[in-house]
Chain A
């Protein structure tokens, strides 16, 4: 009886070893947190082939936008922890707790890599009357609840930058949530919203083509891809206390994924992120490369969460105090 059990255990052990040694033995599903055309989508699809080259299997990409990332995070968290469901995610889940969107954040996930971080940019329609950030803010103060801002729901980059704007300038706008940063830029192009704070990546090409105009980048210095756009601190030095700040892009798996699978993924994505073609694309789109994983990435994410959660709490955008979840003040 004992022998049989032992045998069973050994056999099971063998199967597990064999199974994970061969990882990946089938295609991987890559769930993208945001909609097609947004910054997260483009970054994910650009790194995918390079990672596939190392892994030797395909990564089938699926967009699962909505709920400020809660839908995709939930989905991957509900999938088996076997490394076949990986999350191409942005920073959003780090705010899910304080926004009351979900009971977990990235604490249930292991950061395979954090590729890069981006910076926000405030765009208006090409023929909009405002030439500078100050003009937009002053107009919004003069006509409260008249100027429409395209957003992507509580917790996204547009929302956070809007919180900063609110905290620094006390402007009063109408926030209209769209399905992603891409649709938000489209709404500005079509005149259905007056301005949108979005990631530089979602707006660069439309800015270059003159369909939308950038008023300021949410950074302390200009970014390489938009050298002529002034940093927001030039007009509003008070922004400096929040900066440098920017959304980050990464790949995540469930924390209880076997270690050898995590290692295989880390190796694959480290190599993929270092690919010169990918780095060029990231630079083109105004991102700052990071390529960190594991503990280093976790430290970065924890700090980001602390800064942003307390910022949202201070502007009254947090539903639950960060204190309740033990998120330390920065």
Chain B
């Protein structure tokens, strides 16, 4: 009983201490703006904070970091919705339907809805962390290279959802992305691939620069064709979405949050992959959206946002239980813990159990602040879209260049970004979607290294490689899901369902 009381007191610590409360709030507030500016990443913000908070107590540092983390992951969708430039990789999927919404004058309500669903996702993530951390971390450990491989393939199936109805063009764009992802030194053997002897290509295609170029700059170039069109007046009278709209999408948001938590808990996958998979999930499960996906479906912003913010709770799981980062941000937080004299690892929960409950409470608090700050400044933000194009478009290009440079203070990334912008422009002009390209860049390397890792593990024996899939429950479940997903897209699926129906009817009568 006293244990519960102790845990509860640590949980409530940041709610009761005004200073911790303030730090969390400040973190969320700044995080939203860091997240909304492409190129400025949460990882960067948190690593700067580590040295900044070096002399502070560990609780204060963690409170601020938790706030920034939530704010940043959430904030990425703002610029995705408003100007089609995802502020962070986790917001790529939010741009797909968010930007069309802004084009229809619904930017305000889209941001309002993402705020609500982000908070829902975040809170579900925190609950999963509090209740299932040890279990989920054990699950994450069970993921073998072949499982990461299947995850990557599953993600790549998303090409079907992102190809805008033209499958062949989608597959081409996805393959192009995978090709871009192969550039650089081989992650396993360090052999140069497609580098053509240039040292600048050895570091590979920076995918944040690719994201900014393919989404932002290419859109700017396309819009130059419609420069004379009037800007869309944004409807900002009603920011808080109606209760019925929230209730309608709550089940989807909940499912996607859990998906986000699980993907976030995997050491090799983070919010970006979670959000893309959530988008795919929404597209497959929501049969009759009000508007088609890709043209401003509410589900298309709800699902990725809930998954992205939900993944934060998931990313904390391997970090707190095993000392293994769930993504780039938690990797930096681990550094912070070391510097504050803690030893992240499996012993941390045993030696300093209060830290776990303090973090859980703190993350919950950050979600609550997200609800507050998420609704602040929407009107102002939405006005961005109303800026005349002749002024807005150059601003987006400048912002894109600054953002690309800021990734690693490397001017080469600006060339990458511009190159991707031009490639994206021509793709769009010829009816190809850019979504599959970015998908290929993110998932290609994951597929490449994990397929080869899995193959090396079985001494390159194809028979054993296949057999391995039937040796672990994780592989079996993933294999089943993967097969069902593929099967459901073939014409045999209808027959199979029909067959089941008939049998079912037979037994009933």
Contact = CB atoms under 8 A, between A and B. Distances in A.
B479 interface: no
A205 B323 contact: yes
A230 interface: no
A101 interface: yes
The 7 closest A-B pairs by CB, nearest first: A205-B345, A36-B331, A209-B346, A45-B335, A67-B190, A190-B141, A67-B185
B3 to A, nearest CB: 20
Which bucket holds chain B's interface residue count?
A: 35 or more
A61 B339 contact: no
A200 interface: no
Contacts of A193: 457
Contacts of B199: 74, 77-78
Given A36-B325, A177-B456, A208-B345, A154 B189 contact: yes
Nearest to A66: B187
Contacts of A309: none
Given A60-B44, A66-B190, A205-B346, 8 more contacts: A49-B339, A67-B186, A71-B185, A71-B202, A192-B144, A204-B345, A205-B348, A206-B345
Given A36-B328, A182-B324, A209-B350, A29 B408 contact: yes
A72 to B, nearest CB: 9
A153 B334 contact: no
Contacts of A58: 48, 51-52
Nearest to B333: A36
Interface in A40-61: 41-42, 45-46, 48-49, 52-53, 58-61
B200 interface: yes
A31 to B, nearest CB: 8
A148 B408 CA distance: 36
Contacts, number: 150
A71 B142 contact: no
Contact of A63 (B188, B200, B331): B331
Contacts of B336: 45
Contacts of A182: 324-325
Interface string B270-287: 000000000000000000
A242 to B, nearest CB: 24
Contacts of A205: 323, 343-348
A176 B48 contact: no
A183 interface: yes
Contact of B324 (A48, A52, A79, A186): A186
A198 to B, nearest CB: 14
Which bucket holds chain A's interface residue count?
A: 35 or more
Contact of B54 (A36, A49, A71, A79): A49
Nearest to B54: A49
Contact of A177 (B144, B188, B338, B350): B188
Contacts of A258: none
Interface in A162-204: 174-179, 182-183, 186, 189-190, 192-193, 204
Given A36-B331, A211-B346, A67 B324 contact: no
Contacts of A52: 51, 54
A298 interface: no
A277 interface: yes
Nearest to A101: B190
B345 A41 contact: no
Interface string B306-339: 0000000000000000111100100110111011
